[in-house]
């Protein structure tokens, strides 16, 4: 749902619907700041949810109609819309998406309690996420090649696909996957506990790493079509095919990073992937012209993409066990809300700053290669160099993570012993 919103819509709104780059940047930046507090708040509520239908399923159901309506309005937008229109429907779309995603990722973590299991589960999770991205991102170029549809019709086809597939996917999850029993808490969670939580050094390190590692790809994704149109001379349908190759690389990389995380530790695998991403991103600037080089460069650049979503979530789930052992409270929903929400600080700044910088230096979306050398230089640096530097900083930071497999195994044994003792001590329910 979100990848085409971030990658396709800014360029489509600016080039086809005539919305100013600054207005687009403000709308996408503000909605990310809205998400910053939304995800932790939803995580807090999920932690306190206990219904006869389960802890996670009600949130999936509640988020569905909101997300579908917002997707429809965003992708079916017509000329004459402004930044307020974009902002309103982005807020609703991110609200529905966050409700479902927070439940979804916390549910996945509860299904896989062991160190190695989590890497495998989130590898499969990310693999199917990339499959969805490939399908939806293929629509504009394939609609043009197969049916002769224009770019705008291809964008609207993405909206149709997302709106129709979301209900099917969520209904399948509700029908096919069980919810594990919630772990026992020794005390009730309050907001004060969560303020204590975000001050823990291990959690702060993971959150800061997520900001650095997540911001770079957002910048690159926002500027992707601008760069390949203006610098490389590819039209948007051709660039869309390159984007498919990028996510094909991400799909191929998904099992690699999960297995490497099990073999050498998740934090070490993530540091390696981050350095690889930085090198691949810089190589885009130096790659020769031509289709063959474009295919090789974009496929290799996509290989490290899946490492962050897989390993950071698995590492946060491990920290959730450590936190429950220390505090006696299952805070997994809030912790995933923090992980999802905090990265949106960087995303908000990234989208706003990247498109606003282009506007500031006189870049015009409809001029393409005819822009000034200064504007084109700013575009190249913003697209390739800035994401690489951010990711290298994230690699340095995450390499100091200390919760490895041996430490987590000890935590799991202590939790299992305490949970078993507490279960025996509790009186039977009537």
Q: Which helix (H) or strand (E) holds 362?
A: none
- Distance, in Å, from the CA atom of 338 to the CA atom of 319, rounded to the nearest integer, reads 12
Kindly state the DSSP code that residue 177 receives in the 8-state scheme: -
**This prediction's pTM:** 0.73
Catalogue the E-assigned strands of 217-287.
none
- Distance, in Å, from the CA atom of 336 to the CA atom of 309, rounded to the nearest integer, reads 12
Distance of CA 428 to the CA centre of its chain: 42
Domains of the chain, earliest start first: 2-178+200-423 (1.20.1250.20)
pLDDT in tens, the chain (430 residues): 777 887 778 888 888 888 888 888 888 878 877 777 788 788 878 877 888 888 888 999 999 999 999 999 999 988 889 889 999 999 999 899 888 888 888 888 888 778 778 888 888 888 888 888 888 877 877 777 777 777 788 888 888 988 999 999 999 988 888 887 766 554 555 666 667 777 788 888 998 898 888 888 888 888 888 888 888 877 777 777 777 888 888 888 888 898 898 889 999 999 999 999 999 888 888 877 766 777 788 888 888 988 988 898 889 889 988 888 887 777 777 788 777 777 766 666 777 778 788 888 888 877 878 888 898 988 888 888 989 999 999 999 999 998 888 888 899 889 888 877 766 555 554 4
Helix (H, G, I), strand (E, B), or coil: what is residue 54?
Answer: strand
Look at the alpha carbons of 61, 163, 338, 275 in this order and tell me if their dihedral is positive or negative: positive
DSSP assignment of 187-248 equals S---HHHHHHHTT-HHHHHHHHHHHHHHHHHHHHHHHHHHHHHHTS---HHHHHHHHHHHHH
């Amino acid at each position: 749902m979100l990848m085409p919103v971030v990658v396709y819509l800014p360029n489509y709104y600016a080039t086809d619907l005539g919305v100013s780059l600054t207005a687009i940047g403000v709308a996408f930046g503000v909605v990310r700041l809205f998400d910053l507090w939304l995800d932790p708040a939803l995580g807090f509520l999920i932690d306190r949810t206990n219904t006869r239908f389960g802890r996670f399923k009600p949130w999936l159901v509640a988020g569905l109609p909101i997300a579908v309506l917002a997707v429809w309005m965003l992708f079916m937008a017509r000329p004459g819309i402004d930044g307020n229109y974009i902002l309103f429907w982005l807020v609703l779309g991110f609200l529905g998406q966050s409700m479902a995603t927070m439940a979804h990722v916390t549910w996945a973590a509860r299904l896989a309690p062991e160190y190695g299991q989590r890497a495998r589960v989130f590898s499969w999770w990310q693999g199917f996420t990339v499959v969805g991205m490939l399908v939806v991102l293929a629509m504009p170029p394939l609609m043009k090649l197969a049916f002769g549809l224009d770019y705008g019709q291809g964008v609207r086809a993405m909206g149709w696909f997302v709106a129709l597939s979301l209900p099917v996917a969520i209904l399948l999850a509700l029908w096919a996957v069980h919810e594990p029993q919630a772990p026992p808490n020794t005390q009730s969670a309050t907001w004060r506990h969560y303020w204590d939580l975000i001050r823990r050094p291990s959690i702060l390190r993971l959150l800061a790493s997520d900001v650095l590692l997540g911001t770079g790809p957002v910048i690159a994704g926002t500027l992707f079509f601008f760069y390949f149109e203006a610098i490389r001379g590819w039209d948007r349908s051709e660039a869309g095919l390159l984007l498919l190759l990028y996510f094909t690389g991400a799909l191929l990389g998904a099992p690699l990073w999960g297995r490497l995380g099990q073999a050498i530790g998740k934090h070490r695998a993530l540091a390696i992937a981050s350095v690889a991403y930085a090198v691949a991103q810089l190589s885009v600037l130096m790659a020769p012209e031509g289709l063959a080089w474009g295919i090789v460069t974009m496929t290799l650049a996509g290989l490290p993409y899946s490492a962050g979503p897989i390993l950071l979530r698995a590492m946060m789930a491990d920290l959730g066990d450590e936190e429950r052992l220390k505090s006696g409270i299952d805070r997994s929903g809030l912790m995933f809300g923090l992980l999802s929400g905090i990265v949106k600080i960087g995303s908000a700044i990234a989208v706003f700053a990247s498109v606003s910088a282009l506007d500031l230096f006189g870049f015009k979306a409809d001029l393409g290669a005819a822009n000034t050398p200064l504007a084109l230089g700013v575009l190249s640096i913003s697209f390739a160099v800035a994401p690489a530097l951010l990711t290298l900083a994230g690699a340095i930071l995450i390499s100091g993570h200390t919760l490895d497999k041996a430490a987590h195994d000890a935590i799991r044994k202590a939790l299992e012993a305490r949970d078993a003792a507490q279960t025996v001590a509790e009186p039977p329910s009537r």
